[in-house]
Structures are given as C-alpha cells and as structure tokens.
Structure 1
Amino acid sequence: MPLSENATPTTPPDDAAAASAPARSWRVPVVVETPQHSGLTSPLDYLAPTALPPGTLVRVPLGRRTVLGVVWDTPAAGPDALPDVQLKPVAEVLDGLPPLPAEWRQLVGFAAGYYQRALGEMALMVLPPELRQLDATQWGRREKRLHKAVARHDDSVATAERPPLTPQQADALDALAEPGSPKPFLLWGSTGSGKTEVYLRQAERALEAGQQVLMMVPEINLTPQLEARVAARFADRRIVSLHSGLTPAQRLRNWLMAHYGHADLVLGTRLAVFTPLPRLGLIVVDEEHDPSYKQQDGARYSARDLAVYRGHLHKVPVILGSATPSLESWFNALPLAEGGTGRYRRLAMPARVGDGNMPTVRVLDLSRAPKPARGDSAPPLARELLSAITERVERGEQSLVLLNRRGYAPVLQCGDCGWKSGCPHCSAWRVFHKVDRTLRCHHCGFTERVPRACPDCGNQDIAPVGRGTERLEEQLAEALPGARLGRIDADVTKHKGALEAQLASVHAGEVDVLVGTQMVAKGHDFRRITLVAAVNPDAALFASDFRAAERQFALLLQAAGRAGRDAGVAGHSEMWVQTWHPMHPLYQALRCYDYADFARQQLKEREMAGLPPYASLAMLRAEGRTQEAAQAFLLEAARLVQDHAGEAVRLYPPVPTPVQRVANVERAQMMIESPQRLALQRFLAAAQSVWLAQAQQHRRSGLIRWAVDVDPLAI
C-alpha cells in the first residue's frame, strides 16, 4: 500500500447533521483495535479539526466505546469512501506525545501483513496497556510526572572498568566497525566466550555517537543478570527495561522514556522489538535461537525476525548472538558456495575467555548400569554419576542436575485398575505436586487435591509414575546425605524476587547441588559449577516435531556451558549425559561440541524432506466444541482455496494437535507448505477473506476460533 504523509482537507456540506462539525475539517485515517476476524483490516476515517501527522495518538469513538487509535499513513480517500457527513469526529488528541515514527509504522505494517493479522490489532497490541486506557487529562498528568523523573536522573555515577578483550572479541568488534551497508551479524561464540562483552563494547560505540541501543533477551528470568551488568557498565546512562514482570505504570514510564529519546539503552523481552526509538543505532538479540522469541498466541510474530527487519529499516547493525544458532540463522550465515544464502555475516568466537576448556562430555549408557532389585524404584542417577557429584561436594564445588520437567511426577496411577490422573478438561495428564498435595494440569490450570484413594476402584495404593524436579530433589537428598540442595523451576520462582534469591544463594556457594529445568541451562554465569548432568534427555530424540533434535542439542550444549566457566576449575569440569541411546548422532556431536557438523547433518535432512529453511510453512489452526467441528472447518477451508494454491503451495490434510483438547476446547491444524516464501504469502493474503466468510457459517456448527500461524515453531 503506498504511504502518504498528508491528511486530506475537506469541507463538510451544509447539512443539519453536520452542524456540530467544524467549518473546516481534515479526514484522517486512524487504526484501532477491532475484534479478530471482523474484516476491518484497514484504517477507519475520522474528522479532525486540524491536520494530524501520521503516528499521532488519538482517542476516537468506535461503536459505543471511545478507544485509543493511531493516525496512519494512507492514500487519499477512494471512490467508495463514506461522505464526510457520515464520519465521526476525533474525540481527543494526546497532545505533547511525539508521533510514532515512520519506521515504527512500517515495522508494524510489515508484521501485520506477514503474520496475517489486522493492522489495528498489531498496532495497538504493542503499545503499553495503560496507555490505551488514558484520556487526554490523565495523559497530561502522566507527562508531567515523566518530565520530573527525567530531571532527577544522576549522570555522575562512576562506571565499572572494562575487562581486557580477547583476540576473538577484538576481531569481532573490528568486523562490526567496518563501514558499508550493515548486514545482520551472527555472533557464534561458545558459552563463556564473552559475547556479552562484545555487545557492551558495540553498545558503547553507539551511545558515544548519540544513538540508542535495543538489547533483547528471550526470557524474563535472564533480564536481572544482564540488567545488572549493563547498569554497572553504563551507570551514567539512562537504562530502562521492558518485560511482563513490570507493573503497568512502570512499563508505561519506561516505554515513554524510550519513545521520547530519554532512555539510552532499552533491555527487554520479545515485545521490546516494537519499542519506538527515535535514535536507534544498534539491535542485539541474545540467545537468538531461543523459541521464546516467537509469540505463541494472538499475533504469532517472531521478535528475532522482526529485529532483523527493523535493522534493515533503520540501516543499523543487528547482532544475533548464540552458541547454538537456530538452523535458519545458520543457513542465512552460510556463504552461497556452502549452500547458504549469505544474507548474514558470521563472526566466530570458539574459545572461552581465559582459554578455559569446555567440560568433558561423558555419555553414560544406562543399558549397562546395574538393574535395581525387584520392588525397588530405579535410582535417579547412575552409581558412577552419584560418585562424581559426591566428589564435587567434598571439594566444595557445585553440580547442576538438569531435568526439563517440573512437579513431583507427571502422573499418578492406580496399580489395581490402571486409573491415571488425567485432566477432565484436557487430553493430558495432571501433574502431581507433592509440596501442596495437588494434581495440576499444566495446560488449563485445573487443580484438585490428591484423592485419598483411586476414584475408580477405591484402592488406596496410588503411586507416582515418572519423575519431575520436585521428586528428583527429594531422591538426591536421600542419595547425597549432607549435601545442600537447591531447586530452580517455574514452581519455586513464581513469586516476585524468588528467582533472584535462588540465584543469589547459588552464586554465594550456599548450594552444593542445583536441580533445575531449562530455566538454569542458559545465560547464567555460575562460577563454581564444575559438573552438569542431564537426567532424562532421550525423550526429544524421537519426537514427531522436526525441530526437536535442534532444540535438544541447544539445551544440552547450553547446559554444558554452565560448567567450568572459571578457568581455574575448567580443567576437570564434566558434562554427564544419561541415555539409553549412547550412539545417537546428537550425542556424538555433543561429545566434541561440533555444532557445525550437527547443523550440516540437520540441514541435509531438512533439504531432503523439504522443511525449513528450504521451505516456508504456515499452520491454519482451528478450535471447536468438537474435534469434528474443528476439522470440518479446515477441510472446507482447504477446498475453498485450492484454486489459489496452484502448484507452488501444498495443503496437507487436517489433523488433531498433539494435545488436542485444552479446557474443553478441541483443537486441530492444517499445514500449508511452499518452497517459495513469496508464493506462500500471496496465497495466505488471498485466502484470508475466503476463510473469514467461511468461519461465520461454521460458527453455527461448533467452530470457536481460527488463526494462521506463519513460520510455526512446532508441527
């Protein structure tokens, strides 16, 4: 759609219905948040007493409500536009707030088009929730408080000293400083190689040039550690964070600091990619491979991919950092001669700071471990591994035991009749949490007390099956008497400040053995850990999801990187992997930390199978009161748009999702594939209007909602 920076001046006709309108009005296009699949995908026209520049925030009437809207770019009104006499006037303008810049509007417009969402939904979704509720009077009070906060800033605080650079870090920074059109940089550095220092040095360059910096992390639990390091380095600069852990007032204040240009550095999670920054000079995406950068509901955008697009819009460098890059990013960083696209420039940092070695990987074959006696449960760790952890405890070193499953046990079972603790609202098991004696569904949240006896047969001997972090901690306490144990997972860190307290105890040496999920496997700088053990990593080896092996390799290598980060103990640090499949190629690649070879094998398999990055995928998802209703919509959707597909787009038969019922809603999905990204986008754009009309008819037969997921992470 062509962009226009000018509103259209109009003169309302001399009509009684327009008597209250000003003598001279301007027709302005405004995007507002409309109901999903309402068909209102374009800006709506309103009348304003003055010409309003695009990006201005206004409050406008929509039905019986007055809502926040953004004045948008659009060509002059077409022949089908409503006459001015039928247009409603703008209710209020948020005066004093700078218009959202053109690059921000282009980013939002691109995201809405690419991810097949309404423009108004995308534009309003990325604004702070509290801003959407303010009228002009309330906004005026907030603006005064903001300016007072800016005036109180103290820029005389001393900053932390910079550590010396390694040769690899210096080479990477030299490459980042080279003139020319900036390509995205893939900073491929092993865990502990000092990628964060490269981020900080490059940020320093941007700040000295009077620019702003956007640094992104995948999860909120990684924010405090990086924020503390950034604050120490740039104590004389204004630094703000943007993530879901902030109160609405804090989030609005920090967003405004960035938008006004008062904040020099913005640190945030995925939604921070939409933060308006008038002086943007650098974008950093740490742990770029992490799936948390992909929104999993509503507008399912990828913040990593949008960061790359935003760097292109602003013509600023983008650094994607990871020890285990996503295969899509790795493919884009491969030169054309090696079968890649050459769109990114790869900067390699294979050595750790201080020349410390990565932990020695020991793959433990469980098939050769002694079998437990009849009637005894299998121990959580093999005898050799327990001995190795005991040695660490006696030397005053720390160990990390990784089990990516929280709770006490994934299911309770009756040995007499076979009853299991299924969720009545989902096609999933309820997890047993021993600490509060509850059965909890991790999909819909349904929670009940553990029954005294089997609900089906009355047997009182119902037992846990399987193992979660809660049970693993209990078993290790029995196997390692005298050892100080700690646990970090979503259950023990749900209260404010709990995660920081747990991490502080680990850093202070108050924990000998730390049990945790993937929360502790990435981004944390544990200096005393010398042993990492993966308890049950085999489940992902044979999963139906084609990305399962990639994610598991990344998780294990990131977990291994928590050990031996202090060069003084790196020589005897180890990574133990308990497995029934010791010869699996994933573990063989992990032994020598050969990510390049692992990526080469995975890319070869994906090319043969026609999977990303050699093809583009979208998933049409449907939810209904019955599975038949959901699949009927998908079958009809495929039939109606078959002519649009042609030979370049393939539609697969609909199937239930892996967890097909959640909160009494049945879910199904249909995969759409094309070897050409542009062909897939054209098809989806043409199909949207067809599916919208079809959905209205299917609602009578049980369809609840439907959505398109472009570039899905799981199939």
Structure 2
Amino acid sequence: MLDSPSSPPPRVLRVAVPTPLRRLFDYRPCREAPPGGWQAGLRVRVPFGRRQVVGVVMACDNRSDYPLDRLKPVEAWLDAEPLPEDWLWLCRFTARYYQHSLGDTLHQAMPVLLRQGRPLAGRQREHWRALAASRDGDARLKRAPRQAELLSMLRQHPHGLPTQAIVAQGFTRDQLLSLVEKALAERHEIPLAGAAPATTQLLAEPALPLNREQATALAAIHERFDAFHPCLLHGVTGSGKTEVYLQLIEAVVARGRQALLLVPEIGLTPQTLARFRSRFRVAVVALHSGLTDNERLDAWEAVASGRAPIVIGTRSAIFVPLARPGAIIVDEEHDGSFKQQDGLRYHARDLAVARAKHHDIPLVLGSATPSLESLYHAERGNYRHLRLTRRASRYAPARLELIDLRGRQRQGGLIPPTIEAIRETLAAGHQVLVFINRRGFAPTLACHTCGWLADCDACDAHMTLHRQPPMLACHHCDKHRPVPDACPECGSADLRPLGSGTERTEETLAALFPKVPVHRIDRDSTRRRDAFEQTLGEVRRGAPCLLVGTQMLAKGHHLPHVTLVVVVNADAGLYASDFRALEHSAQLLTQVAGRAGRAAHPGRVLVQTLHTDDPHLRLLAEHGYDALAGQLLAERRAAALPPFRHLALLRLESPREEAATSLGREAALLMRQWVAEHAPDVSCLGPVPAPMERRQNRYHVHLLLSAGRRSQLHAACARLTVWLEASPEARRVRWSLDVDPQSLS
C-alpha cells in the first residue's frame, strides 16, 4: 500500500522484527515520511522491548487491534526505496513453508550490515581518466614533468585507473588533483563490485566445443527459455556439466538477464569463479561466508541493481535479489550442505525450484549422483531428465573395487594390498587420493588394560584424538581437554588410539613414502584463508604426491593427475540409524571415485570394507549409482518414506530430560487428537530420544510428523507451532520444527 500525495498517510505500520514470534507488530509512523511515502519493503528502526532493532514494513493500515495512542512510533526510516519485491516474495514464501517467523526470516536473508541499519549502497572506488588532449593543456605541463608523466600514463589507459594503482607507480593525489584543475583529467567513482565492463564483447575466451550429449542437453534447456523449465542434468563425473552451465549463462547474459549459480561448498567457489571470470568479460560476483561484511553488501547491491549479471554463491546466495532474473543453476544438487541445519532450516535447492517457478525462468539441477527426490520428480515427468553418460576424457569412470578388510593387519587404516597399489601408482609418476571421512588422529583413545574410553562429558559421544596440536576434542560440542598421561580409571599408562583419522593416515603415508609429498586436506588443515586453494594449486602442478582428505576433496574438484583413489573405510556411513545414510554414503563414494582418471590416464578406485558381501554395496560397485538409486526408491516406496511421503521433525531439547520428554508427550497427544479430526492422512511418531540423546549437556527428544500430502502436513505443523508458542511448558524447553529434514539426528 503506497502513501501517495493525494491520500492521507497511514496511521499504522505493520512491521516484521527479528524475533521468533510468528506475527507482525504495529507502530505509528514517524513525523517525517520517506520521499516515496510509506510502503511495504521499507526498512525502519523501531523500539522493541528495551532495545532498538531494524525491521521491515510489511503493510500499511489505518486500524490496529490496539489503541493508536498506545502504539510506539517508528524511530526512523532507513530506505528511500523499498527492498526488491522478488526478495520480499521469497522471504514470505520461505517463512510460510518452513514454519518460521517472517521477521527472523527477513533478518537472516539480508546481509549483516543491512540488519544493522546501513544503507543499501555498495562502496565506491576513485577512478581517474585523461581528457581529450589539447596543445594549450600540454604546454602548461612543461614546468611539471611529473604531472606530464602521470598524464601520459593515464592516456595509455583510456578506461581509467584506480587511485591505488596510480599511487603504486609513485604519483600523488595532489598531482592528480592538479590535472583535474587544468581540465586534463577527470575523477569519477565506480562501484567496487559489479563494475560495468569496458567492452561490449561478452566472452573473453571462446566456448569449448560440445559433444553430442552436451549439445542435446543445452538445446533441450533452450526449448523453453522464457518459461519455468526444470531440468535434471544427470551427468557422470567429468562429463562436462560446467561447460553446459557456461554456455547456458552466455545465452542468458546475451539477452540482458542475470544468472544465479549455487555451489555446495565455499571450497569450490574460488575455482568456479576463476573459470567463469576467465570466460566472461562481464562482472561475476561471489556470495559466500568467506566474505567480509562490506564485501557481502557490495556484492548484494551489485546484483540487486543489475550491474552484476552472473552470481556464484553457496547456500545463502539463494536470497540475493535479482533485478532481471534469467536462469538458476544448482550444481551438485544432491549435496547436504544446501540444507541449513539450525535457525531458519531452509533448503536452498528447494527454494531455487520455487523461485524459478515464481520468475518463470529455466532451472537446472546438476549432479552425477542426483538425490532420490530429484530422480523421483524426473521419473514422474515434473523435471526433464537430461543425461550425460560420456566423460570428456576417453576413459569411462572407474568402477569400485571392494577390498576385504577382515583379518588383515592395518597401518594407518591401510592394508598391504592397498599400500602396494599406492606404491605402484606413485612409481608410475601419478598421484593418489586417500579418502577418510574422519578428521583427527584417531576416533578415540582407549585404555588397553581396563577398556576405558575417552568419552565427552557433555555428549553421548567419544572424544577424537588429535596430534596437531595434541588434545582430545568432541566434534559435536567442540569441547577440548588435554591428552591424559595415564588412564583415569585404573592408572595404566597403556593408552592406545583406536581407529584412524586423517592425521594418522597422513603420518603413516609419510613414513611409508618419505620422498613423496603428503598433503592433508580437512577442516583443521585449511583454517587459514586460501590454504585449501594453495594446496590444490600445488597438486595441480602434476608431480607425484599423496592427498589425504575428508569429503572436502570429494566435491567437484578436477584433479587431472590423480589415477588412484583409496577409500579407507566405506562402512562408516553405511549402517547409520538415519534412513538416508545409504543414499548419502553411495553419493559420497561415487563422487570421490570420480576424482580418478579424469585426464590422460585411466583411474582405479579401491574401497576397503568389512562387508564385501553387502548387497547394496555390491550393487553400487558392479552397476553404479543409478542402479542402487532405483532400488532405494523402491524400498522407500514400500516403507512410505520420502520422496513418497513428506516429513516434519519437531526437535525438543532441555538440560532436564523429563522436561523435554514431557513436552514431547503433550505435543504428541495434541497432534494425534487433532489429525484424527482434521488431517487423517498425517501420522505422528514419537516422542523418542534423538539418536544422540545427550549433546552439549542437553537432552534431545524427537517427534516426527509424516503425510502423503504437503497441504495436510503444513496444516498440522501450523497447529503444532501455535500450540507450542502458547504453551507455558514450551517456554522452558528449546524447540524447533524442521520441515523436510535431511537428517533425523
């Protein structure tokens, strides 16, 4: 509702403020109205309790449920223009779908500096440019040789130079200002992010030729280029999905529109950015958690203003406003990191689907191992299924070779046949990737005399032994303690590490192959900024080396000199309590196997396991991920699990076990009574203790809702949240509702 000059200003503003409460709050407008009048989407500073917060006006009205004279006035408006309408729509949809408060959703979806009240404006950079030459002007520089040199340098750069580059050449700002006074140069400001290109040419380097499958896939996406057209680009590792993305984005930008590419991990962003910036002459901006607050606001504003036609980002980039949306691409769409696991528990892939449909633009979901949800939609015809079965290299993806661990002596988790295969690969001048999805030196420390285990005092979990630096650490609550000299139970000094982590495997390989560099890549070794990319840069030089790493190495990295991949222990994720464990483990194994043989030499993948006769593992090894996914879908249908039914998980946690359990029982009783009358398709399971019941000294209880229709599930969730917000017991228990949970832990 717009407050136009011909109509009286509204008497009430309904404002969304950052609070868990699922409601808007009424305020009186301040005396000075914004230039365009009061309207939805304006940020305002308002009093809320004893503090001031930044909220967003969502509606204007003349009535309130409270006396108008008791309403607090808005302190100040922060924007002359409202926030983008497409962004407001997305936040409303997200809050409604994920049963989250609108005020908190808006708060989480905007950059930190906007939450703090900063203007929506990117930083500017000073630029200097020479003006047209004149005899009179040049003559005035005969007695100022340094100014003459400076002018000559500026003329060699017709598009101008930033102040920093000029000062680096030994010139001063006073010399620049003197040229401006003499009308020989001019000063102007350009944005730090998304600056307009200095050329009309779109490509900086030519596109690569497409093979038949790539060309067919791209043509299929182009068939309905101006409409919502969801496509599942299902291509084996190394099949050239990124080249399809590049050529699709080229077509989008050529039409004057913007493209958004989501990638799963911050570690993939630098290499993706480098490839896109080398291909395109237009602005390519990044959005991820590694940016400073100022950098994030610069990029957000560049995209919102339309200056940046290409956006590459991780999960939270789904909320960036697009001035001219043209296409959305989700790379590695199966990846679990697209799901936010706390606070606003959204799934960026699913929001991408909703957003593409809202804008009526193409959507591409790419993966070598698609999620069962996406395969289900492709089978039903909701998504167009585009396949890439050929690698860019002449070698097919390597099959998994199952290596039996039973009865074999291990060194750092590796058995003799595996060590011999590593030795042969290094002798041939190639590289080896050793995958172990457990960081630290060993999963725990044990007393060989009495059987004591180093358990966490705050969680139902063992503490991980680290050697760099020496300590015991809980990877669930981040608690640390020193490594004991003797057993706390019996006093024995015979303490031994159990199992292997990345540090232990690294130490073992360094001892076995002392002349070969060993690079460890996990969360501990890559804490320093750019450490991950620097290590990968060394690896890509091609010298024989060993890489030891966690799943950080499994996703999307092109390692052309790796010809052998070793999976130290394939069993860790196969038999977890979560029904998605087998799907996620199969995706991870297939993805890490795809790092082998991507260039001039064939690849080999050795998978160490205690269960070589497991039917699922054998199916994956012999027939690949697609065959296993088909069987898992059949099993999910029989068990009435997603994607054939929809879930919502209520998580309850409290320092007192009885408080969480009691609230869970009351919630279950309420839901069973309500669904029997209003939503018979909904089933309520629980309450039950969480798979890890005690974590961070808090007890965790779960209640699961399941339904065949989303509408009934959301109706049940809405009833449950209303009851929880009104329940006095719920105020003493921390609770959250996770719609479409990706993990039941």
| 1:660 CA displacement | 1.8
Identify if the C-alpha distance between structure 1 residues 317 and 45 changes in structure 2 by more than 3 Å, giving closer, same or farther. Answer: farther
Equivalent position of 1:498 in the other structure: 531
Q: Does 1:279 align with 2:263?
A: no
Residues 78-119 of structure 1: CA deviation (Å, up to 9, x unaligned): 6x53343333333222345x4223222221111111111011
Question: Retained in 1: the 8 A contact 2:663–2:729?
Answer: no
Q: Which has the larger displacement, 514-523 or 451-460?
A: 451-460
Equivalent position of 2:16 in the other structure: 31
Identify if the C-alpha distance between structure 1 residues 167 and 584 changes in structure 2 by more than 3 Å, giving closer, same or farther. Answer: same
Residues 114-150 of structure 1: CA deviation (Å, up to 9, x unaligned): 11101111011111111111356xx679589985436
Query: What is the alpha-carbon distance in structure 2 between the residues aligned to residue 250 and residue 498 of structure 1?
Result: 20
Equivalent position of 2:738 in the other structure: 709
Identify if the C-alpha distance between structure 1 residues 141 and 580 changes in structure 2 by more than 3 Å, giving closer, same or farther. Answer: closer
Equivalent position of 2:174 in the other structure: none
Equivalent position of 1:15 in the other structure: none
Q: TM-score, normalised by structure 1?
A: 0.90
Q: Which has the larger displacement, 496-505 or 127-136?
A: 127-136
Equivalent position of 2:415 in the other structure: 382
Q: Does 1:407 align with 2:440?
A: yes
Question: Retained in 2: the 8 A contact 1:557–1:593?
Answer: no
Query: What is the alpha-carbon distance in structure 2 between the residues aligned to residue 415 and residue 371 of structure 1?
Result: 20
Q: Does 1:233 align with 2:279?
A: yes
- Bigger-Rg structure (1/2): 2
Q: Does 1:529 align with 2:562?
A: yes
Amino acid corresponding to residue 52 of structure 1 in structure 2: W
Residues 367-415 of structure 1: CA deviation (Å, up to 9, x unaligned): 3xx644xxxx666223222221111101110111111000001111112
Amino acid corresponding to residue 729 of structure 2 in structure 1: Q
Query: What is the alpha-carbon distance in structure 2 between the residues aligned to residue 151 and residue 281 of structure 1?
Result: 17
Equivalent position of 1:353 in the other structure: 392
Amino acid corresponding to residue 634 of structure 2 in structure 1: K
Query: What is the alpha-carbon distance in structure 2 between the residues aligned to residue 689 and residue 549 of structure 1?
Result: 36
| 1:681 CA displacement | 0.5
| 1:73 CA displacement | 4.5
Equivalent position of 1:657 in the other structure: 690
Equivalent position of 1:433 in the other structure: 466
Query: What is the alpha-carbon distance in structure 2 between the residues aligned to residue 472 and residue 141 of structure 1?
Result: 47
Equivalent position of 2:402 in the other structure: 363
Identify if the C-alpha distance between structure 1 residues 115 and 141 changes in structure 2 by more than 3 Å, giving closer, same or farther. Answer: closer
RMSD between aligned residues: 2.3
Equivalent position of 1:563 in the other structure: 596
Query: What is the alpha-carbon distance in structure 1 between the residues aligned to residue 596 and residue 725 of structure 2?
Result: 52
Residues 330-365 of structure 1: CA deviation (Å, up to 9, x unaligned): 00011xxxxxx3211111111111332111432212
| 1:458 CA displacement | 1.8
| 1:7 CA displacement | 5.5
Amino acid corresponding to residue 417 of structure 2 in structure 1: E
Query: What is the alpha-carbon distance in structure 2 between the residues aligned to residue 222 and residue 165 of structure 1?
Result: 23
Gaps of at least 5 residues in structure 1 are: 12-22, 335-340
Equivalent position of 1:262 in the other structure: 307
Equivalent position of 1:457 in the other structure: 490
Identical columns (%): 42
Query: What is the alpha-carbon distance in structure 1 between the residues aligned to residue 587 and residue 26 of structure 2?
Result: 46
Pick one of 63, 74, 82 that aligns with 1:90.
74
Query: What is the alpha-carbon distance in structure 2 between the residues aligned to residue 464 and residue 650 of structure 1?
Result: 45
Equivalent position of 1:107 in the other structure: 90
Question: Retained in 1: the 8 A contact 2:412–2:500?
Answer: no
Equivalent position of 1:18 in the other structure: none
Amino acid corresponding to residue 28 of structure 1 in structure 2: L
Identify if the C-alpha distance between structure 1 residues 9 and 431 changes in structure 2 by more than 3 Å, giving closer, same or farther. Answer: farther
Question: Retained in 2: the 8 A contact 1:531–1:563?
Answer: yes
Q: Does 1:124 align with 2:89?
A: no
1:127-526 to 2 correspondences below 5 Å = 127-134=110-117, 148-149=191-192, 154-156=197-199, 159-179=204-224, 181-234=227-280, 236-334=281-379, 341-367=380-406, 371-372=408-409, 380-510=413-543, 512-526=545-559
Equivalent position of 2:45 in the other structure: 59
Identify if the C-alpha distance between structure 1 residues 25 and 616 changes in structure 2 by more than 3 Å, giving closer, same or farther. Answer: closer
Provide the aligned length of Structure 1 versus Structure 2.
672
Q: Which has the larger displacement, 605-614 or 591-600?
A: 591-600
Equivalent position of 2:624 in the other structure: 594
Query: What is the alpha-carbon distance in structure 2 between the residues aligned to residue 43 and residue 283 of structure 1?
Result: 34
Question: Retained in 1: the 8 A contact 2:412–2:504?
Answer: no
Query: What is the alpha-carbon distance in structure 2 between the residues aligned to residue 712 and residue 151 of structure 1?
Result: 36
Q: TM-score, normalised by structure 2?
A: 0.86
Equivalent position of 2:663 in the other structure: 633
| 1:62 CA displacement | 2.1
| 1:58 CA displacement | 2.3
Question: Retained in 1: the 8 A contact 2:429–2:543?
Answer: no
Q: Which has the larger displacement, 260-269 or 148-157?
A: 148-157
| 1:450 CA displacement | 0.8
Q: Does 1:603 align with 2:633?
A: yes
Question: Retained in 1: the 8 A contact 2:27–2:74?
Answer: no
Amino acid corresponding to residue 569 of structure 1 in structure 2: H
Equivalent position of 1:47 in the other structure: 29
Equivalent position of 1:14 in the other structure: none
SS at match of 1:482: coil
SS at match of 2:393: helix
Amino acid corresponding to residue 739 of structure 2 in structure 1: V
Equivalent position of 1:697 in the other structure: 729
